[in-house]
Chains A and B, each alone.
Chain A
Amino acid sequence: MSVLQRSITGAVLILAVLVLRALLARRLPRFTFMALWILAAVRLTVPFTLPSRFSLYSWLEGFGKPKAKTMLLLPQSAAVPAQGTSPIQTGLWIAWLIGAVLLAAYFGMSYCRCRRRFCASLPAQSIGVENWRKQVKSIRRINIRVSDQITSPLTYGILRPVILLPKNISWQDEAALGYVLSHEYVHIRRLDAAVKLLMAGALCVHWFNPLVWVMYFLANRDMELSCDEAVLSRSSQKEKAAYALALLQMEESRGASLYSHFSKNNCYFGKNAIEERICAIMKMKKFSAFVLVFALMLVLSVTAVFATSSINQSSVSDLPEGTVFQDEDGNSLPIGEGQLKAAGRFLQDEDGNLVLSPDDDLSALMDDGVEGPIVFAFDEDGNYGVYQYSLTDEENDWDFNIEGYKPKEYTDEEMAQIIADIESGKLKGFSVSELEEQGFRFVTYSENCYSGEDAAE
Chain B
Amino acid sequence: MSIKLFDSELKIMDVLWKEGDKTAKQISDILKAEIGWNMNTTYTVIKKCIAKGAIERREPNFLCHALLAKEEVQAAEAEELMNKLFDGSPDLLFASLLNGRQLSPEQIEHLRQMVAGLK
A residues lining the B interface (CB < 8 Å)? 116, 119-123, 143, 146-149, 167
Interchain CB contact under 8 A, A147 and B7: yes
- Decide if B44 is an interface residue (CB 8 Å cutoff): yes
Interchain CB contact under 8 A, A121 and B8: yes
- Alpha-carbon distance between A13 and B31 when the two chains are bound, in angstroms: 50
The minimal Cβ–Cβ distance linking B35 to chain A, given in whole angstroms, is 6
From A123, A143, A147, contact of B8 by CB (8 A): A147
- Alpha-carbon distance between A148 and B11 when the two chains are bound, in angstroms: 12
- Alpha-carbon distance between A120 and B43 when the two chains are bound, in angstroms: 10
From B11, B35, B41, contact of A116 by CB (8 A): B41
Chain B residues within 8 Å of A116, by CB: 41, 44
Chain A residues within 8 Å of B7, by CB: 122, 146-149, 167
- Alpha-carbon distance between A116 and B8 when the two chains are bound, in angstroms: 11
- Alpha-carbon distance between A148 and B8 when the two chains are bound, in angstroms: 8
Interchain CB contact under 8 A, B44 and A120: yes
Chain A residues within 8 Å of B40, by CB: 119
Chain B residues within 8 Å of A123, by CB: 35-36
Q: 30 pairs across A/B with beta carbons < 8 Å? A: A116-B41, A116-B44, A119-B37, A119-B38, A119-B40, A119-B41, A119-B44, A120-B6, A120-B8, A120-B37, A120-B41, A120-B44, A120-B45, A121-B8, A122-B7, A122-B8, A122-B11, A122-B35, A123-B35, A123-B36, A143-B36, A147-B7, A147-B8, A148-B6, A148-B7, A148-B8, A149-B6, A149-B7, A149-B8, A167-B7
- Alpha-carbon distance between A348 and B44 when the two chains are bound, in angstroms: 51
> Nearest CB to that of A167 among chain B residues?
B7
Number of A-B contacts (CB under 8 A): 31
- Alpha-carbon distance between A116 and B7 when the two chains are bound, in angstroms: 14
Q: Which of B1-48 contact A (CB under 8 A)?
A: 6-8, 11, 35-38, 40-41, 44-45
- Alpha-carbon distance between A122 and B31 when the two chains are bound, in angstroms: 10
Chain B residues within 8 Å of A119, by CB: 37-38, 40-41, 44
- Alpha-carbon distance between A119 and B36 when the two chains are bound, in angstroms: 9
- Alpha-carbon distance between A120 and B38 when the two chains are bound, in angstroms: 9
Looking at A120, A123, A143, A148, the one whose CB has the most chain B CB atoms below 10 A away is: A120
Q: A120-B45, A123-B35, A149-B6 provided; 8 other pairs, C-beta below 8 A?
A: A116-B44, A119-B37, A119-B40, A120-B6, A121-B8, A122-B7, A143-B36, A148-B8
Total interface residues on B, CB under 8 Å, equals 12
- Alpha-carbon distance between A167 and B10 when the two chains are bound, in angstroms: 14
- Alpha-carbon distance between A146 and B36 when the two chains are bound, in angstroms: 13
The minimal Cβ–Cβ distance linking A117 to chain B, given in whole angstroms, is 8
The minimal Cβ–Cβ distance linking A109 to chain B, given in whole angstroms, is 15
The minimal Cβ–Cβ distance linking B103 to chain A, given in whole angstroms, is 17
> Nearest CB to that of A148 among chain B residues?
B7
Looking at A121, A146, A147, the one whose CB has the most chain B CB atoms below 10 A away is: A121
Chain B residues within 8 Å of A149, by CB: 6-8
- Alpha-carbon distance between A147 and B38 when the two chains are bound, in angstroms: 16
> Nearest CB to that of A120 among chain B residues?
B8
Looking at B7, B38, B44, the one whose CB has the most chain A CB atoms below 10 A away is: B7
Chain A residues within 8 Å of B41, by CB: 116, 119-120
> Nearest CB to that of A118 among chain B residues?
B41
> Nearest CB to that of B9 among chain A residues?
A120
Chain A residues within 8 Å of B44, by CB: 116, 119-120
- Alpha-carbon distance between A121 and B11 when the two chains are bound, in angstroms: 10
Chain B residues within 8 Å of A148, by CB: 6-8
Chain A residues within 8 Å of B37, by CB: 119-120
Chain B residues within 8 Å of A147, by CB: 7-8
> Nearest CB to that of B48 among chain A residues?
A120
- Alpha-carbon distance between A148 and B9 when the two chains are bound, in angstroms: 11
Chain A residues within 8 Å of B45, by CB: 120
Q: Which of B31-81 contact A (CB under 8 A)?
A: 35-38, 40-41, 44-45
- Alpha-carbon distance between A370 and B8 when the two chains are bound, in angstroms: 53
- Alpha-carbon distance between A149 and B44 when the two chains are bound, in angstroms: 15
Chain A residues within 8 Å of B8, by CB: 120-122, 147-149
- Alpha-carbon distance between A71 and B35 when the two chains are bound, in angstroms: 65
The minimal Cβ–Cβ distance linking A283 to chain B, given in whole angstroms, is 37
- Alpha-carbon distance between A346 and B91 when the two chains are bound, in angstroms: 87
- Alpha-carbon distance between A121 and B7 when the two chains are bound, in angstroms: 8
The minimal Cβ–Cβ distance linking A142 to chain B, given in whole angstroms, is 13
The minimal Cβ–Cβ distance linking B26 to chain A, given in whole angstroms, is 18
- Alpha-carbon distance between A435 and B45 when the two chains are bound, in angstroms: 71
